[in-house]
Amino acid sequence: MTIPLVLVHGGGFDSRCWELLVPRLAAPVIAVDLPGRGLRPAAPESVTFAHCAQAIVEDIDAAGFEEVVLVGHSQAGCSLPRVMALLGERVRHAVFVAALVPEDGRSSMQELTPHVSGMIDDHVERRRDTMDPAMAKVVFGNDLDDEQFAWCVERLVPEPPGLPNEPVELSGLREATPRTWVRTTRDAILPPDMQLRFVERVGRCPVIDLDAGHMCMISQPEALAAILEGFVD
Protein backbone atom coordinates (compact mmCIF):
# COMPACT_ATOMS: atom_id res chain seq x y z
CA MET A 1 0.00 0.00 0.00
CA THR A 2 1.28 3.47 -0.91
CA ILE A 3 1.24 5.89 2.01
CA PRO A 4 0.27 9.49 1.15
CA LEU A 5 2.74 12.32 1.60
CA VAL A 6 1.83 15.49 3.51
CA LEU A 7 4.08 18.45 2.66
CA VAL A 8 4.38 21.26 5.23
CA HIS A 9 6.08 24.50 4.21
CA GLY A 10 8.39 26.63 6.32
CA GLY A 11 8.41 30.28 7.35
CA GLY A 12 7.75 32.99 4.79
CA PHE A 13 6.09 30.62 2.29
CA ASP A 14 2.84 28.82 1.65
CA SER A 15 2.00 25.55 -0.10
CA ARG A 16 3.06 26.93 -3.50
CA CYS A 17 6.73 26.42 -2.62
CA TRP A 18 6.18 22.69 -3.35
CA GLU A 19 4.80 23.20 -6.87
CA LEU A 20 7.95 21.96 -8.65
CA LEU A 21 8.13 18.87 -6.43
CA VAL A 22 4.51 17.65 -6.45
CA PRO A 23 4.37 16.64 -10.15
CA ARG A 24 7.45 14.48 -9.62
CA LEU A 25 5.80 12.39 -6.88
CA ALA A 26 3.92 9.22 -7.75
CA ALA A 27 2.37 8.82 -4.29
CA PRO A 28 -0.82 10.61 -3.24
CA VAL A 29 0.18 14.00 -1.85
CA ILE A 30 -1.24 17.14 -0.30
CA ALA A 31 0.59 20.41 0.39
CA VAL A 32 -0.73 22.22 3.45
CA ASP A 33 -1.31 25.96 3.79
CA LEU A 34 -0.56 26.86 7.40
CA PRO A 35 -2.80 29.48 9.07
CA GLY A 36 -2.47 32.99 7.70
CA ARG A 37 -1.19 31.76 4.33
CA GLY A 38 -2.70 30.75 1.00
CA LEU A 39 -6.14 29.18 1.28
CA ARG A 40 -6.19 29.34 5.09
CA PRO A 41 -6.67 33.00 6.10
CA ALA A 42 -6.19 33.98 9.72
CA ALA A 43 -5.27 37.07 11.70
CA PRO A 44 -1.45 36.86 11.56
CA GLU A 45 -0.95 38.02 15.15
CA SER A 46 -3.09 35.14 16.45
CA VAL A 47 -1.27 32.24 14.77
CA THR A 48 0.57 29.75 17.01
CA PHE A 49 2.30 26.44 16.40
CA ALA A 50 -0.71 24.72 17.97
CA HIS A 51 -2.87 26.29 15.25
CA CYS A 52 -0.38 25.11 12.63
CA ALA A 53 -0.49 21.54 13.91
CA GLN A 54 -4.28 21.54 13.97
CA ALA A 55 -4.40 22.83 10.40
CA ILE A 56 -2.17 19.97 9.26
CA VAL A 57 -4.42 17.42 10.97
CA GLU A 58 -7.52 19.05 9.47
CA ASP A 59 -6.10 18.75 5.94
CA ILE A 60 -5.11 15.13 6.51
CA ASP A 61 -8.60 14.27 7.73
CA ALA A 62 -10.25 16.23 4.91
CA ALA A 63 -8.19 14.24 2.39
CA GLY A 64 -9.39 10.99 3.97
CA PHE A 65 -5.86 9.79 4.76
CA GLU A 66 -5.73 7.20 7.53
CA GLU A 67 -1.92 6.99 7.54
CA VAL A 68 0.60 9.51 6.26
CA VAL A 69 4.24 10.34 5.76
CA LEU A 70 4.80 13.82 7.20
CA VAL A 71 7.33 16.01 5.40
CA GLY A 72 8.28 19.24 7.15
CA HIS A 73 10.62 21.90 5.76
CA SER A 74 12.46 24.55 7.76
CA GLN A 75 10.23 26.08 10.47
CA ALA A 76 7.76 23.22 9.99
CA GLY A 77 10.15 21.38 12.29
CA CYS A 78 8.49 23.34 15.11
CA SER A 79 5.01 22.01 14.20
CA LEU A 80 5.73 18.40 13.24
CA PRO A 81 6.28 17.17 16.83
CA ARG A 82 2.82 18.47 17.77
CA VAL A 83 1.30 16.67 14.77
CA MET A 84 3.07 13.47 15.76
CA ALA A 85 1.51 13.77 19.22
CA LEU A 86 -1.96 14.40 17.79
CA LEU A 87 -1.90 11.59 15.22
CA GLY A 88 0.24 8.96 16.96
CA GLU A 89 0.47 5.76 14.92
CA ARG A 90 -1.26 7.37 11.94
CA VAL A 91 2.12 8.95 11.13
CA ARG A 92 4.05 6.15 9.46
CA HIS A 93 7.19 8.24 9.00
CA ALA A 94 8.26 11.82 9.67
CA VAL A 95 10.76 13.40 7.30
CA PHE A 96 12.51 16.57 8.49
CA VAL A 97 13.86 18.47 5.46
CA ALA A 98 16.41 21.14 6.41
CA ALA A 99 14.21 21.62 9.45
CA LEU A 100 14.52 23.98 12.37
CA VAL A 101 14.07 22.19 15.71
CA PRO A 102 14.87 24.39 18.72
CA GLU A 103 15.40 22.92 22.16
CA ASP A 104 12.14 22.27 23.98
CA GLY A 105 10.95 25.61 25.39
CA ARG A 106 13.18 27.72 23.12
CA SER A 107 12.22 29.64 19.99
CA SER A 108 13.40 29.58 16.40
CA MET A 109 15.06 32.98 16.77
CA GLN A 110 17.14 31.68 19.69
CA GLU A 111 18.61 28.96 17.46
CA LEU A 112 19.66 31.03 14.44
CA THR A 113 23.10 32.54 14.05
CA PRO A 114 23.40 36.17 15.22
CA HIS A 115 23.89 37.30 11.61
CA VAL A 116 20.66 35.68 10.40
CA SER A 117 18.60 36.59 13.47
CA GLY A 118 19.84 40.17 13.15
CA MET A 119 18.60 40.35 9.56
CA ILE A 120 15.22 38.98 10.64
CA ASP A 121 15.00 41.50 13.49
CA ASP A 122 15.71 44.29 11.04
CA HIS A 123 13.05 42.92 8.70
CA VAL A 124 10.47 42.89 11.51
CA GLU A 125 11.37 46.40 12.66
CA ARG A 126 10.87 47.73 9.13
CA ARG A 127 7.45 45.97 9.10
CA ARG A 128 7.90 44.56 5.61
CA ASP A 129 5.01 42.38 4.46
CA THR A 130 7.30 39.82 2.83
CA MET A 131 11.00 39.14 3.06
CA ASP A 132 13.21 41.60 1.22
CA PRO A 133 14.61 39.94 -1.94
CA ALA A 134 18.17 40.87 -0.95
CA MET A 135 17.74 39.04 2.35
CA ALA A 136 16.01 36.13 0.61
CA LYS A 137 18.98 35.81 -1.75
CA VAL A 138 21.32 35.41 1.22
CA VAL A 139 19.31 32.88 3.22
CA PHE A 140 17.33 31.04 0.52
CA GLY A 141 18.94 31.67 -2.85
CA ASN A 142 22.62 30.82 -2.62
CA ASP A 143 22.24 27.79 -4.92
CA LEU A 144 19.35 29.05 -7.08
CA ASP A 145 19.91 30.36 -10.59
CA ASP A 146 18.23 33.60 -11.64
CA GLU A 147 15.08 31.90 -12.92
CA GLN A 148 14.73 29.70 -9.84
CA PHE A 149 15.29 32.63 -7.50
CA ALA A 150 12.66 34.75 -9.27
CA TRP A 151 10.24 31.81 -8.93
CA CYS A 152 11.09 31.59 -5.23
CA VAL A 153 10.56 35.31 -4.58
CA GLU A 154 7.14 35.19 -6.27
CA ARG A 155 6.08 32.68 -3.61
CA LEU A 156 7.22 34.60 -0.56
CA VAL A 157 4.36 35.54 1.79
CA PRO A 158 4.13 37.42 5.11
CA GLU A 159 5.04 35.31 8.13
CA PRO A 160 2.82 35.44 11.25
CA PRO A 161 4.93 37.60 13.56
CA GLY A 162 4.62 35.53 16.71
CA LEU A 163 5.95 32.22 15.39
CA PRO A 164 9.70 32.99 15.26
CA ASN A 165 9.68 33.89 18.97
CA GLU A 166 7.23 31.25 20.22
CA PRO A 167 8.79 28.56 22.46
CA VAL A 168 8.36 25.11 20.93
CA GLU A 169 6.77 22.02 22.43
CA LEU A 170 8.65 18.83 21.49
CA SER A 171 6.94 16.18 23.61
CA GLY A 172 5.57 14.58 20.42
CA LEU A 173 9.09 13.45 19.59
CA ARG A 174 8.68 10.84 22.31
CA GLU A 175 6.33 8.99 19.98
CA ALA A 176 7.76 5.82 18.43
CA THR A 177 7.31 7.25 14.93
CA PRO A 178 10.16 6.40 12.54
CA ARG A 179 11.88 9.54 11.30
CA THR A 180 14.57 10.62 8.85
CA TRP A 181 16.49 13.85 8.33
CA VAL A 182 17.26 15.30 4.90
CA ARG A 183 20.31 17.54 5.40
CA THR A 184 20.93 20.25 2.82
CA THR A 185 24.70 20.47 2.65
CA ARG A 186 24.83 23.90 0.98
CA ASP A 187 22.34 25.52 3.35
CA ALA A 188 23.07 29.16 4.25
CA ILE A 189 20.41 29.71 6.93
CA LEU A 190 20.68 26.28 8.63
CA PRO A 191 24.27 25.14 8.01
CA PRO A 192 24.97 21.40 7.91
CA ASP A 193 26.62 21.31 11.36
CA MET A 194 23.68 23.14 12.91
CA GLN A 195 21.30 20.62 11.35
CA LEU A 196 23.20 17.79 13.03
CA ARG A 197 22.40 19.39 16.40
CA PHE A 198 18.75 19.31 15.44
CA VAL A 199 19.08 15.66 14.42
CA GLU A 200 20.10 14.87 17.99
CA ARG A 201 16.89 16.51 19.21
CA VAL A 202 14.62 14.47 16.99
CA GLY A 203 16.24 11.23 18.09
CA ARG A 204 19.51 10.55 16.25
CA CYS A 205 17.59 9.46 13.17
CA PRO A 206 19.13 8.47 9.82
CA VAL A 207 20.50 11.41 7.83
CA ILE A 208 20.34 11.68 4.04
CA ASP A 209 22.60 14.37 2.61
CA LEU A 210 21.33 16.39 -0.34
CA ASP A 211 23.68 18.66 -2.30
CA ALA A 212 21.41 21.69 -2.17
CA GLY A 213 20.70 24.94 -0.38
CA HIS A 214 17.77 25.59 1.91
CA MET A 215 15.08 25.66 -0.79
CA CYS A 216 15.89 22.21 -2.08
CA MET A 217 12.36 21.66 -3.40
CA ILE A 218 13.15 24.43 -5.90
CA SER A 219 16.78 23.71 -6.75
CA GLN A 220 16.66 19.90 -6.58
CA PRO A 221 13.03 18.74 -6.92
CA GLU A 222 13.91 15.50 -8.71
CA ALA A 223 16.44 14.47 -6.08
CA LEU A 224 14.09 15.34 -3.21
CA ALA A 225 11.23 13.47 -4.87
CA ALA A 226 13.40 10.35 -5.17
CA ILE A 227 14.21 10.54 -1.46
CA LEU A 228 10.58 10.98 -0.40
CA GLU A 229 9.31 8.17 -2.62
CA GLY A 230 11.46 5.83 -0.54
CA PHE A 231 9.15 6.25 2.46
CA VAL A 232 5.72 5.64 0.96
CA ASP A 233 5.64 1.83 0.49
CATH number at residue 10: 3.40.50.1820
Q: What is the pLDDT of residues 147-199, one digit of tens each?
A: 999 999 999 999 898 998 999 999 999 999 999 999 999 999 999 999 999 99
pLDDT, position 61: 98
Boundaries of domain holding 95: 5-229
**Closest Cα to residue 185, out of 97, 117, 114, 101?**
97
Domain count, the chain: 1
* Beta-sheet pairing, 179-184 with 5-8: unpaired
Report how far residue 134's alpha carbon sits from residue 35's, in angstroms, rounded to the nearest whole number. 26
> What's the pLDDT score for residue 132?
86
What phi and psi, each to the nearest 5 degrees, are found at residue 94?
-120, 125
Residue 45 near residue 160 (C-beta atoms within 8 A): yes
pLDDT at 49: 98
Cβ neighbour number for residue 153 with a 10 Å cutoff? 17
**Does 83 have pLDDT greater than 90?**
yes
Q: Tell me: pLDDT of 144 over 60.
A: yes
Tell me the C-alpha to C-alpha distance, in Å, between residue 20 and each of 34, 104, 171: 19, 33, 33
pLDDT tens figures, 107-128: 998 888 666 656 666 655 555 5
> In whole numbers, what is the pLDDT of the chain averaged over residues?
93
The CB density around residue 206, as the number of other CB atoms within 10 Å, is 10
Mean pLDDT, residues 62-84 taken together: 98
